[in-house]
Structure 1
Amino acid sequence: MKTKKVKSRKKQSRVVRPRDSRSIVHIVGDPANVEEYVRICSAHGYNVSYHCPGSLEPLTTIELSAARNESHVPANASFALELTNVDLDQKRRNLEMLDKVLPSTTAIVSSSITVTATEQASWIRHKVRLVGCSALPTLGDKPLIEIAPTVFSPGATVQVVQTFFRSIGKDIELVQDRIGMVFPRILCRVINEAAFALQEEIALPHDLDQAMVVAAGFPVGPIAWAERIGITQVYAVLKSLNRDLGEDRTRVAPLLTQMALSGTWWQQATAFHEERR
């Protein structure tokens, strides 16, 4: 009697959570985002390594004893954060390198406010390991983080990511995988509307900020908040949103485009006009 040979199924790698707070978290991306999360992860006891490709300036507020600046991805990292919003070509290179070096069981959480997490997952081999998050400068210190599973994300990966963010003191909101996610999208569109108001000379920056703080209860006005975030970060979100939806209501204010592309000239011009009031 012949016995049937049963083909053994190849065991699929499953993403696992960091073993404990002494595990290594590797963080790569835009300097402002990296700096926030290096500080947060270090404060919660994680060993942190970080890298900001293309940045020539050191992260001055990071204690050297708490984190290591490493241009090479440490192969023993048990969790990775990719926090690039502006240069998407660099973001893709970062993700491809993380996917190549890290074990397939290591989760990668990537900022997905300028490109969806699902598109990012399509760039790498081990797609199930990637989940999106709402990383935008100044939001790292907020108590809530938005995370967006991809179409490839199994429940186990999402649980690993949730466990990590809870370990650094975050409340979690699961949202759909769309450009801008929720709060970053709303915030950047408010800033864009403020830029239209500036362009049409409805009010000066200080007056706009004061109106939104007093009348709308904002913790800080939209122009001041944009400066803290970084105009290029806001511009990147708005451009990606407009590219995704293709609607006139998502058009970037021409003044904001100039602000993003030409540095601090607008601050000097605004100061001149306010002095003449």
Structure 2
Amino acid sequence: MNIEVVGVIGAGVMGSGLAQNLAQTGHQVILVDVSEKILEEAKEKIKNNLRFQKMLQKSDKLDNIENLLQKIKISTDYQSLESAEFVIENVTEKWEIKNRVYEKIDVICPPVTVFAANTSAIPITRIASATKRAAQVIGMHFMNPVPMKPVVETIRGYHTSEETIEIAKKLLAQMGKEAIIVNDSPGFVSNRVLMLTINEAIFLLQDQVASASDVDRIFKTCFGHKMGPLETADLIGLDTILFSIEVLYESFNDSKYRPCSLLKKMVDAGLYGCKSGKGFYNYN
């Protein structure tokens, strides 16, 4: 049985990318956020992304962009998720916010609905504890930009059932993606390594060892990375980077995860990277 209706909570960069990907693979999407303005901006961004994609590749699926957009229903009301067979949550990386979201949707969604947390660092077992369906909670760490990334780090919580894992793998296959299953741990595999790398790169900048462009150029030219760690930080969002590294610091009580003071200062100044127009680089 195909999964047809998918709820996506959070219409930021990741949420809008997920909504686009799901619509393109034939799913009905319920995109939920707290603000009509955010939702309208997300839908406009999806439209522009589809137009750009159409310019780059010839595909019958992109011939009618309006038909794809009609597959995405936007709402500020969580009650709209009552028909969702699968829900992917993408809200801010703060436990108190995520906790409230899961308590809310646990009551609204049908008992069979699977919840997937698209989180960078918060343990899936902790998220599952906010629900009465711990066996149906799984982590799905999508990478940005979602429609272009073929693999998803998929996290098994302590209570996650094999049935839930198979359902998640099936949805990802429908989306044209492969799941790599890992066990639950703060930061999982990708961000336990990546956040340390980015944080240390920011320390290099703070200590005036090298410029941002030279730090990134070394990683791109010497190691063949498509993006350097500071470019990656700007793409993810420095606020998200800080939230994630703070979760790791709190979870492991290990000084190696101590957030760089320059990172904190930039977040306080509203320099979040691409989404604010300025981070380690200018985007205006």
Task: Report the alpha carbon displacement of residue 50 of structure 1 after superposing the two structures with TM.
Answer: 0.6
* C-alpha contact 1:80 1:106 (8 A) present in aligned 2: yes
In structure 2, how many angstroms separate the alpha carbons of the residues matched to 1:222 and 1:55? 34
Find the counterpart in structure 1 of residue 252 from structure 2.
245
* C-alpha contact 1:117 1:177 (8 A) present in aligned 2: yes
In structure 2, how many angstroms separate the alpha carbons of the residues matched to 1:95 and 1:201? 43
Distance 1:55 1:210, change over 3 A: farther
Find the counterpart in structure 2 of residue 9 from structure 1.
none
Structure 2 spans left out of the alignment, 5+ residues: 48-68
Find the counterpart in structure 1 of residue 61 from structure 2.
none
Q: How many residue pairs end up in the alignment?
A: 253
In structure 1, how many angstroms separate the alpha carbons of the residues matched to 2:264 and 2:110? 41
Measured against aligned partners, the alpha-carbon deviations of 1:9-65 in whole angstroms (never above 9, x if no partner) come to: xxxxxxxxxx436x1111003611101111111111101111123684321312442
Instruction: Please state if 1:50 is matched with 2:57.
Output: no
* C-alpha contact 1:48 1:66 (8 A) present in aligned 2: yes
In structure 2, how many angstroms separate the alpha carbons of the residues matched to 1:102 and 1:74? 6
Find the counterpart in structure 2 of residue 7 from structure 1.
none
Distance 1:270 1:120, change over 3 A: closer
Find the counterpart in structure 2 of residue 20 from structure 1.
2
Task: Report the alpha carbon displacement of residue 262 of structure 1 after superposing the two structures with TM.
Answer: 1.4
What SS does the aligned partner of 2:34 have? coil
What SS does the aligned partner of 1:258 have? helix
| Counterpart pick for 2:152 among 139, 145, 150 | 145
Residue 46 of structure 2 aligns with an amino acid whose one-letter code is: I
Residue 82 of structure 1 aligns with an amino acid whose one-letter code is: E
What SS does the aligned partner of 1:123 have? coil
In structure 2, how many angstroms separate the alpha carbons of the residues matched to 1:218 and 1:254? 26
In structure 1, how many angstroms separate the alpha carbons of the residues matched to 2:10 and 2:200? 28
Instruction: Please state if 1:118 is matched with 2:125.
Output: yes
Find the counterpart in structure 2 of residue 67 from structure 1.
72
In structure 2, how many angstroms separate the alpha carbons of the residues matched to 1:244 and 1:269? 27
In structure 2, how many angstroms separate the alpha carbons of the residues matched to 1:86 and 1:161? 21
* C-alpha contact 1:136 1:184 (8 A) present in aligned 2: no
The structure that is helix-richer by fraction is 2
What SS does the aligned partner of 1:39 have? helix
TM-score, scaled relative to structure 2: 0.82
* C-alpha contact 2:238 2:279 (8 A) present in aligned 1: no
* C-alpha contact 1:134 1:181 (8 A) present in aligned 2: no
* C-alpha contact 1:106 1:129 (8 A) present in aligned 2: yes
* C-alpha contact 1:34 1:52 (8 A) present in aligned 2: no
In structure 2, how many angstroms separate the alpha carbons of the residues matched to 1:179 and 1:79? 23
In structure 2, how many angstroms separate the alpha carbons of the residues matched to 1:219 and 1:269? 19
Find the counterpart in structure 2 of residue 183 from structure 1.
190
Distance 1:270 1:190, change over 3 A: closer
Find the counterpart in structure 1 of residue 266 from structure 2.
259
What RMSD in Å do the two structures reach over aligned CA positions? 2.3
Task: Report the alpha carbon displacement of residue 84 of structure 1 after superposing the two structures with TM.
Answer: 2.1
In structure 2, how many angstroms separate the alpha carbons of the residues matched to 1:250 and 1:55? 37
| Counterpart pick for 2:17 among 36, 39, 46 | 36
**Equivalences for residues 116-265 of structure 1 within 5 A:** 116-135=123-142, 137-138=144-145, 141-264=148-271
Find the counterpart in structure 1 of residue 99 from structure 2.
92
In structure 1, how many angstroms separate the alpha carbons of the residues matched to 2:145 and 2:204? 23
Task: Report the alpha carbon displacement of residue 129 of structure 1 after superposing the two structures with TM.
Answer: 1.3
In structure 2, how many angstroms separate the alpha carbons of the residues matched to 1:118 and 1:36? 25
Work out the percentage of aligned pairs sharing the same amino acid.
Answer: 21
Task: Report the alpha carbon displacement of residue 137 of structure 1 after superposing the two structures with TM.
Answer: 4.0
Residue 130 of structure 1 aligns with an amino acid whose one-letter code is: V
* C-alpha contact 2:93 2:119 (8 A) present in aligned 1: no
* C-alpha contact 2:230 2:280 (8 A) present in aligned 1: no
* C-alpha contact 2:121 2:188 (8 A) present in aligned 1: no
Residue 178 of structure 2 aligns with an amino acid whose one-letter code is: D
What SS does the aligned partner of 2:84 have? coil
In structure 2, how many angstroms separate the alpha carbons of the residues matched to 1:253 and 1:125? 38
